[in-house]
């Protein structure tokens, strides 16, 4: 399997311009013989939308823009981020996977950061499920940015047979080191290595580049093998394109030599979680 990590720099609120970038990247991925191309979080709209959220929202079944992206996935599968208008006119930070001209999976971001420099809880509704889906390359899960920092998210997907974890992010720069590298980005790849090794799955994480409203996004997209080995990393602070191969052999080897998923005790986890929830939330 060949995957393209499309580390683009979308324009805030300009979905038509961003779609053109997506379509060009998809054409290049087709020419390169890729099976899948992954774009960052909110790749079709930009991140700091605030009051533009409702204006930029799209319904997957009716949006002409998403239909064009869906059509473009006929030869190479596409993961892209956008604002979804859901039931009851609720707005979600969402990522969709289009495969062979159809919507194969939609994930709504569950954990919305509303602290420090982030304010997503004011503008988006929370997703409430983690699900995998069957793709031509194997069972796949999608997480969006903050979801990845809650280890239970990846763990739950793994219990449903996940072989590839796709993470779409918009991670900004908080500080630049003297050497010119953004601080904090190494933590993302370390987390990816831990998740890949302990869940014995491939991890592909795509961050955006460029700037918005005074924010600079760090780039540094990466891919990790089921052994925990970093197998590819894009450039920092600028748009980039990274191609990685994800062969089945390392996945088989990791799950044979480290059968951690096979030996997981789900009944024990369910029982102990019930006890903890009862203790934590019991009425005094």
Query: pLDDT per residue over 20-64, tens digit each?
Result: 999 999 999 999 999 999 999 999 999 999 999 999 999 999 999
Note down the domain range covering 225.
2-281
Residue 240 near residue 234, CB atoms below 8 Å: yes
What is the sign of the dihedral through the CA atoms of 84, 90, 92 and 95?
A: negative
> For the residues 138-158, what does the mean pLDDT come to?
98
Max alpha carbon distance in the chain (Å)?
Answer: 64
pLDDT score of 174? 77
Task: State the Cα–Cα distance between residues 32 and 166, nearest whole angstrom.
Answer: 20
Q: Could you tell me whether strands 215-216 and 211-212 are parallel, antiparallel, or unpaired per DSSP bridges?
A: antiparallel
Give the rounded percent of residues in the chain with a pLDDT score beyond 90: 93
pLDDT at 271: 97
The string of pLDDT tens digits covering residues 197-213 is 999 999 999 999 999 99
Q: Cβ neighbours of residue 18 under 8 Å, at least 6 residues apart? A: 8, 10, 11, 43, 44, 45, 46
Active site residues: 41, 109, 145
Regarding beta strands 215-216 and 90-99, do their DSSP bridges make them parallel or antiparallel, or are they unpaired?
unpaired
Give SS3 for 140. Answer: strand
What does the mean pLDDT of the chain come to? 95
Domains held by the chain: number: 1
Q: What percent of the chain has pLDDT over 70?
A: 96
Q: State the average pLDDT over residues 171-188.
A: 74
């Amino acid at each position: 399997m060949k995957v393209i990590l499309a580390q683009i720099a979308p324009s805030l609120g300009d979905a038509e311009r961003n779609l053109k970038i997506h379509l060009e990247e998809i054409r290049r991925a087709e020419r390169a013989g890729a099976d899948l191309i992954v774009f960052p979080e909110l790749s079709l709209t930009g991140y700091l939308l605030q009051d533009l959220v409702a204006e930029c929202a799209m319904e997957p079944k009716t949006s002409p823009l998403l239909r064009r992206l869906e059509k473009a996935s006929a030869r190479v599968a596409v993961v892209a981020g956008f604002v979804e208008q859901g039931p009851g006119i609720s707005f979600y930070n969402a990522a969709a996977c289009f495969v062979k001209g159809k919507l194969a999976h939609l994930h709504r971001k569950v954990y919305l950061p509303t602290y420090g420099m982030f304010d997503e809880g004011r503008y988006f509704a929370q997703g409430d499920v983690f699900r995998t889906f069957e793709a031509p390359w194997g069972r796949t899960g999608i997480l969006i940015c903050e979801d990845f920092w809650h280890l239970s998210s990846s763990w739950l997907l793994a219990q449903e047979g996940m072989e590839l974890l796709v993470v779409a992010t918009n991670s900004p720069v908080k500080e630049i080191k003297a050497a010119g590298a953004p601080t904090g980005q190494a933590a993302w790849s370390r987390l990816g290595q831990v998740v890949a090794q302990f869940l014995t799955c491939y991890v592909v994480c795509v961050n955006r580049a460029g700037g918005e409203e005074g924010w600079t996004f760090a780039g540094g997209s990466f891919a990790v093998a089921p052994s925990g080995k970093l197998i590819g990393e894009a450039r920092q602070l600028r748009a980039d394109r990274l191609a990685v191969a994800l062969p089945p052999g390392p996945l088989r080897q990791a799950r044979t030599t480290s059968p951690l998923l096979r030996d997981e005790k789900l009944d024990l986890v369910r029982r102990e979680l019930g006890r903890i929830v009862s203790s934590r939330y019991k009425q005094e």
